[in-house]
Structure 1
């Protein structure tokens, strides 16, 4: 048998020509992930940096000058309203009270004498023994003595108050802070640093801020500011160690003004504090839930943006992609969007890679086939 031997280069060239002469088979658009949008309920959470404050945080300062002679509270201890915290040297204030009491007695004696004189002058005037001038002078002396008595009594009250101020008591129930003052320290009403701070922490106020746009969104959701405040969901608190606080709180106040520098609005949440775990001045994170019912939820991969506008690709009856603008809820979890406008129940969209698709791309053999 005769065999024909061809050079290897010639064989390769012939195979290449044959391959190029065969038509390329175009793959149908079946590699795109699609989804049919359905209404559902979704809760989103977002976090806000917060500052913790006691329900009442009172700075304890002296109202009189003097040397601290007693400290009657331990730092960090629980105190009750009316409990003695500090005692200031009482000796000069006791002396001032004794002087005031003596002045009152002297003034009372002067009033009694002036009254007798005035009554005597009145009788003598009626008998035409003394002139009207003498009678009027006696009455004026009585008025002057009475004024002096009133002044002496006022000084007595002031002396008693000053003496009482030497015993410094807690005006509220709470927990005492640390103090930098010790027995022997000289204090007065103008000291810069308070003796200590008493924080009423049965309930804790947690302050945080939202943007004006977020507040407006909540108002639109609920109808009015009052309804938004009344119907806001309970919030949670993430402590500085990253763990969640055991009790939920309720937002009970929204500031009536907007910070002109930051555009933020302050809110206040109230949390119970039965274990005394939360402390005045601490920091934490408010976890705020947004509850959305009957909404469309789509992956963020199903969207693309053009000039801050969000679009999706809807699939028409021929299986082709058609871009459509949608309005999404301002907050998201980084993975999904809540669509407020632009989609209808039962519509099919491209669920992934929307940013890589062009208009009228064939993404399905037909919409009916995919469904």
Structure 2
């Protein structure tokens, strides 16, 4: 075999080995789904911790001293305005009413007697049988007795008012709180704790705070000349309960305090929600979720991100199909499972949207282009 033939064989063998090596290397480059970032309409949400209070939280306190004779409700019961709640055993007030009624009868008799004396003296004065002084004295006596009668009638009204305090009625529709005093307990107007609390929770107030910067951004982006006008133009807000359930009825932000707390730098706000089923009770905790609309937002799917020390990163694919991690600086979530980009990437950049857990910096990938709309619509 000639040298020329041997050389040709070696060339073919080397070429075959190289092609096999290149093919093997090509097979080791994994494919990844990639989308092209573009601007789009988005709604982002900000959540604020809130405490819940009912429309009314009325403490039921006794106005007189006595013993709890009867309790006509129970803890957690729903009551109507005017419904009987408690009866207090205080017999002295009933006796005061009886005494006042007796005093009125005495005063009426005194008035009648004084009137008879005036009627008796008047014709005698007209006939000059007695002096006018006698009639004047009789009239003064009558006026004194009439005043005593008025005083006795006022005493009866006061006694009846005090007696009415022995029965306590609900001042509003609502839900009964705890009952710290049981039947037989001695209570009075100076008792530390109320008999109970009636909470009207047909509507609820959610109190929450935002910091000074958030407050400025919040209101500068809202329409209206005055603070109240800006509040009325805000979109409806959502209440997220402690178990993650969303209250079916949306509410509105109605008030913002006029002062920023100098210790915390917080601005206190209040949102109002309808609560017809009484699902939410006073004292509950929740989140007030406020939406904000962005017309030209850059969104990345949540599954395309990973987090390091509180920062969000995505993998961007460069022109050589190598990946690079980029901090997108996002702290706001949009509707669905996506984040709004604050920095790091721009329109037209390519990012990997799935399977990023095993990627490394500068890794070479085989990009598989995916329609961005289909990715966002599936979220």
2:289 to 287, 290, 308: 287
DSSP 3-state at the match of 2:162: helix
Q: What's the CA shift for 1:349?
A: 9.6
Conserved in 1, the CA contact under 8 Å of 2:74 and 2:179? no
Conserved in 2, the CA contact under 8 Å of 1:76 and 1:177? yes
Conserved in 2, the CA contact under 8 Å of 1:52 and 1:279? yes
Summarize the Cα distance change of 1:131–1:263 in structure 2 as closer, same or farther, 3 Å threshold. Answer: farther
Deviations 1:110-146 (A, max 9, x none): 1111222233333333333333433332222222111
Per the alignment, residue 165 of structure 1 pairs with 165
Per the alignment, residue 245 of structure 1 pairs with 247
* CA distance in 2: counterparts of 1:337 and 1:129, whole angstroms: 113
Summarize the Cα distance change of 1:348–1:246 in structure 2 as closer, same or farther, 3 Å threshold. Answer: closer
Conserved in 1, the CA contact under 8 Å of 2:298 and 2:347? no
Matches of residues 285-324 of structure 1 in structure 2 within 5 Å? 285-292=287-294, 294-295=295-296, 297=298
Per the alignment, residue 155 of structure 1 pairs with 155
Matches of residues 311-350 of structure 1 in structure 2 within 5 Å? 332-333=332-333, 336=340
Q: What's the CA shift for 1:67?
A: 0.6
TM-score for both structures, normalised by structure 1 = 0.67
Q: What's the CA shift for 1:246?
A: 3.3
Q: What's the CA shift for 1:243?
A: 3.5
Per the alignment, residue 107 of structure 1 pairs with 107
DSSP 3-state at the match of 2:231: helix
* CA distance in 2: counterparts of 1:135 and 1:218, whole angstroms: 83
Conserved in 1, the CA contact under 8 Å of 2:67 and 2:90? no
Conserved in 2, the CA contact under 8 Å of 1:218 and 1:228? no
Per the alignment, residue 44 of structure 1 pairs with 44
Structure 2: gaps (5+ residues): 1-35, 301-329, 352-379
Q: Tell me the matched-pair count.
A: 281
Per the alignment, residue 317 of structure 2 pairs with none
Question: For the aligned residues, what is the CA RMSD?
Answer: 3.1
Per the alignment, residue 275 of structure 1 pairs with 277
* CA distance in 2: counterparts of 1:179 and 1:295, whole angstroms: 56
Summarize the Cα distance change of 1:130–1:254 in structure 2 as closer, same or farther, 3 Å threshold. Answer: farther
